[in-house]
């Protein structure tokens, strides 16, 4: 992220850097500090603040700017507070220092995904209030936990609660793809995250033997099918200058599991994938394609979803 130099730092940048220093990093995020941060910010901006504990230790913070016509549905501006883990050896600066260099570049985990958006919401509201604006519709800003690991202890629970329905949201904005430039892009559609785990079962035995129908052989076939699909989508993106990354389906192999010893052929092995399914894909047909790759690999190969988002959810 870029900003003005240290001698000209805008208060919103200072606020941004304060937020970046809060270690809401998975797998042990400091959500309490984030909630306190938004409580204090709400007080400074003269906004209502509601804390909804959707699960023990998981709080959704709602900041509200009331509109002049409470009968209208509201505007919902959502962002998540948690960030993904860091590997400090790959960073040029401490990822939680929010270091800003002489050109105004800020180095921190969450600077793009997505603490910058949270501060943009707050700064937009602050400026509009200072300028004396009032709007017919109420504006709610929700700051939710747990998004980086699926949202099961965050938004997934929040939308089932009466506090969410009481917001009466008629329009919502959330995160899109991080921008490598100073452009600010609004996305009206987004790829759907599918987290898929393929499990293969086969004949176990001693590793000194040539066993047939092993779990590894069958899993290898599925992995090859999925990676061939990945290459096809990559080539489609590279060959068409009109396509953007969000126009194709991406997939990455993120986890391999199996085995108990070097000399034992495992009875079960699994591979986990992160798919980002393009908006124009037929979800039912795509799921059937995944199932067909598993079936083609042989008996005992199954597929399960750790997370799947479709338009009819």
Query: Is 30 a residue of the active site?
Result: no
Cα–Cα dist 34/52, whole Å? 14
Which are the contacts of 235, defined by CB distance < 8 A and separation ≥ 6? none
146 marked among binding-site residues: no
**Which residue in the list 82, 97, 257, 287 is annotated as catalytic?**
82
Please indicate if the annotation marks 148 as binding a ligand. yes
Which of 147, 156, 213, 274 does the annotation list as catalytic?
147
Segments in the chain forming alpha helices (H) = 11-20, 31-45, 115-130, 155-158, 162-165, 215-239, 283-297
Q: Is 304 marked as a binding-site residue?
A: no
Distance separating alpha carbons of residues 106 and 19, to the nearest angstrom: 12
8 Å CB contact between 300 and 218: yes
Q: Has 40 been labeled as part of a binding site?
A: no
Q: Is 147 a catalytic residue?
A: yes
How would DSSP label each residue in 7-72?
Answer: GG--HHHHHHHHHHTS--BTTS--HHHHHHHHHHHHHHHT-EEEEEEEETTEEEEEEEE--S-TTS
**What are the catalytic residues?**
82, 147
Residue positions forming the annotated binding site for Zn(2+)? 80, 113, 148, 175
């Amino acid at each position: 992220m870029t900003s003005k130099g240290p001698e000209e730092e805008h208060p919103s940048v200072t606020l941004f850097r304060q937020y970046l220093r809060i270690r809401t990093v998975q797998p042990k995020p400091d959500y309490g500090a984030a909630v306190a941060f938004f409580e204090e910010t709400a007080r400074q901006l003269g906004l209502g603040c509601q804390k909804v504990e959707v699960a023990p230790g998981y709080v959704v913070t709602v900041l509200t700017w009331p509109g002049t016509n409470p009968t209208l549905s509201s505007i919902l501006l959502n962002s998540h507070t948690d960030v993904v883990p860091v590997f400090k050896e790959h960073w040029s600066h401490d990822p939680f220092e929010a270091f800003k260099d002489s050109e105004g570049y800020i180095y921190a985990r969450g600077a793009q995904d997505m603490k910058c958006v949270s501060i943009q919401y707050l700064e937009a509201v602050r400026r509009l209030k200072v300028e004396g604006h009032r709007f017919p519709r109420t504006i709610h800003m929700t700051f939710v936990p747990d998004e980086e690991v699926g949202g099961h202890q965050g938004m997934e629970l929040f939308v089932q609660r009466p506090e969410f329905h009481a917001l009466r949201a008629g329009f919502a904005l959330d995160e899109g793809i991080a921008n490598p430039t100073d452009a600010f892009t609004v996305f009206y559609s987004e790829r759907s995250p599918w987290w898929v785990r393929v499990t293969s079962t086969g004949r176990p035995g001693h590793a000194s033997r040539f066993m047939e129908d092993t779990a590894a052989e069958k899993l290898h076939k599925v992995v090859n099918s999925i990676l061939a699909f990945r290459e096809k989508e990559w080539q489609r993106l590279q060959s068409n200058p009109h396509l953007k990354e969000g126009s194709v389906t991406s997939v990455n192999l993120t986890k391999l599991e199996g085995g108990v010893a070097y000399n034992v052929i495992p009875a079960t092995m699994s591979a986990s994938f992160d798919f980002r399914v393009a908006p124009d894909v037929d979800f039912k047909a795509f799921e059937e394609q995944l199932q067909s790759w598993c079936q083609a690999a042989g008996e005992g190969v199954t597929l399960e979803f750790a997370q799947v988002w479709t338009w009819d959810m």
